């Protein structure tokens, strides 16, 4: 693979902790939970009545034509908003950029579920003629990437990889690979999700995947804790600008960090359960380290996928031990920001890579909150409850999805 170096020059996000980058980061550093009782629908019929909702969001100001916002599914609105923020943060002038070499890879794990639910109800109540002609283009999981490219006139590689909760990691990693290969110079990459809806809630709840700590929502998402009882759904989007180093330097861009490694693998094991021995994710981690020419004991911080599920947190702990050896429990610092955001599904890897990059920038590792009785089978340094000041030069972000998809992204301080 080419030695072209790839750097992160812009970041944008919408999350349960805030509708911009710094508000979200302040919430993560403070150990603030974004989980509360669901307000977007009546949660009473559902076993799980809590989620990490995006609050007070208005999409109009993020679209070139305000009416286009109303023709976009909520997940697409989030994607467009986060992409615009990332572009503005990067300072890139699209007019002065070769747009054929400017790509977009913004995916979604589930896609336009709100559109599907609404239009299916129209079909049942009013018949097929009353289904919106916008149903299919609003609903499909690739349309966020397509609309972001349309909003900014970007003609480069455009796709949305769908790998459930590894979606953001794969979109960012494959964009990195395309730049390394020489087929593009700059990308908007990440993920978006908005599935806090009746079908989303019922589907996950009936798998027994969701927490039912309904009377104490802020303490419901508790990765690595003995009393975890499932994950909490979150929503939002996270998009980063990545570009080839010389391209960034030529325009005088600020550089957050260098993206140096990316690993992918499959569990080939089960629809939703992880490989019990952690071997699948371990292989992805090892591949990312190999790409980055990084020794395992050089990684300062690992933002874990850790969703707060019984099987998942233990399997990831085993994966980390397989990949890092003795260093996993003697030096490596690990935390799960899902304890605060909930599980943002297809957007999770994006927000977690952003947290990893900001840990490098600010020398602060966000905590895993709600660790009151740490599971002895998850015997890692998980930064319980309070953020930690620590110099971070190299960080890794894990993302794993239903279907056995594993993806790890490695970043380091830019030198």
* Structural domains of the chain, with CATH: 6-250 (3.40.47.10), 261-412 (3.40.47.10)
Residue pLDDT, tens place only, 178-225: 999 999 999 999 999 999 999 999 999 999 999 999 999 999 999 999
* Closest among 66, 67, 64, 52 to 13, alpha carbons compared: 52
**Which pLDDT belongs to residue 2?**
65
Average pLDDT, the chain: 97
- On the question of pLDDT at 274 being above 90, the answer is no
pLDDT in tens, 304-338: 999 999 999 999 999 999 999 999 999 999 999 99
Q: Which pLDDT score, from 0 to 100, does residue 272 have?
A: 81
Look up tokens 């097929």; give the residue.
128
**What residues contact 95, with CB distance under 8 A and at least 6 apart?**
none
Strand duo 405-412 + 257-266: pairing: antiparallel
Token pair 């964009």 in the structure block, residue: 175
> What's the pLDDT at 275?
87
263 contacts 283 by C-beta, under 8 angstroms: yes
Phi and psi torsions of 15, nearest 5°? -150, 170
- What's the pLDDT tens digit per position in 339-375? 999 999 999 999 999 999 999 999 999 999 999 999 9
Element (H, E) at 126: helix 113-126
Q: How high is the pLDDT of residue 259?
A: 98
Catalytic residues: 165, 305, 343
For range 115-133, the mean pLDDT: 96
Q: How many CB atoms lie within 10 A of CB 381?
A: 17
pLDDT at 1: 53
Write the pLDDT tens digit of every residue in 253-269: 999 999 999 999 999 89
**pLDDT of res. 171:** 98
Query: What pLDDT was estimated at residue 273?
Result: 82
CB of 237 closer than 8 Å to CB of 82: yes
Buried b (16+ CB within 10 A) or exposed e, 101-117: bbbbbbbbbbbbbbbbb
- Please tell me whether residue 44 adopts helix, strand or coil conformation: coil
Average pLDDT of 11-26? 98
DSSP assigned state of 131: S
Calpha distance 168→353 (Å, rounded): 9
DSSP notation for 315-379: HHHHHHHHHHGGGGTTT-EEE-THHHH-B-GGGHHHHHHHHHHHHHHHTEEPPBTT-SSB-TTS-
Is residue 306 within 8 Å of 337, Cβ to Cβ?
Answer: no
Q: What does the pLDDT read at residue 3?
A: 85
| pLDDT above 70: residue 95 | yes
Q: What burial letters (b/e) apply to 257-285, b meaning 16+ CB within 10 Å?
A: bbbbbbbbbebebeebebbeebbbbbbbb
């Amino acid at each position: 693979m080419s030695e072209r170096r790839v750097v992160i020059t812009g970041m944008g996000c919408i999350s349960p902790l805030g509708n911009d980058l710094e508000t979200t980061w302040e919430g993560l550093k403070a150990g603030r939970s974004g989980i509360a009782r669901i307000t977007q629908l009546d949660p009473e019929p559902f076993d799980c009545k809590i989620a990490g909702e995006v609050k007070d969001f208005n999409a109009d100001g993020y679209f070139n034509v305000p009416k286009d916002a109303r023709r976009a599914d909520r997940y697409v609105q989030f994607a467009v908003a986060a992409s615009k923020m990332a572009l503005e943060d990067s300072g890139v002038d699209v007019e002065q950029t070769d747009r054929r070499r400017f790509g977009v890879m913004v995916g979604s794990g589930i896609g336009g579920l709100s559109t599907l639910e609404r239009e299916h109800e129209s079909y049942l109540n009013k018949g097929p003629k009353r289904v919106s002609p916008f149903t299919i283009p609003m609903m499909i999981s690739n349309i966020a990437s397509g609309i972001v490219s349309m909003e900014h006139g970007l003609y480069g590689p455009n796709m949305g990889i769908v790998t459930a909760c590894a979606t953001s990691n794969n979109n960012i990693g494959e964009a990195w690979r395309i730049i390394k290969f020489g087929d593009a110079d700059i990308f908007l990459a990440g993920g978006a999700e908005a599935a806090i809806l009746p079908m989303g809630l019922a589907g996950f709840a009936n798998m027994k995947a969701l927490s039912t700590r309904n009377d104490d929502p802020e303490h419901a998402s508790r990765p690595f804790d003995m009393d975890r009882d499932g994950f909490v759904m979150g929503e939002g989007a996270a998009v980063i600008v990545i570009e080839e180093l010389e391209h960034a330097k030529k325009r005088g861009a600020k550089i957050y960090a260098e993206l140096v490694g990316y690993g992918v693998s499959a569990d080939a094991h089960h629809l939703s359960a992880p490989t019990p021995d952690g071997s699948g994710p371990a292989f992805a981690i090892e591949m990312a380290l190999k790409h980055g020419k990084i020794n395992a004991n050089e990684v300062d911080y690992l933002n874990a996928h850790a969703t707060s599920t019984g099987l998942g947190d233990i399997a990831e702990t085993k994966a980390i031990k397989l990949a890092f050896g003795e260093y996993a429990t003697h030096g490596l610092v690990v935390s799960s920001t899902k304890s605060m955001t909930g599980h943002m599904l297809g957007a999770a890897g994006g927000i977690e890579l952003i947290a990893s990059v900001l840990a490098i920038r600010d020398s602060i590792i966000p905590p895993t909150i709600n660790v009151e009785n740490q599971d002895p089978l998850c015997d890692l340094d998980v930064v319980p409850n309070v953020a930690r000041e620590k110099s971070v030069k190299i960080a890794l972000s894990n993302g794993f999805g239903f279907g056995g998809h594993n993806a790890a992204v490695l970043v380091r301080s830019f030198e």
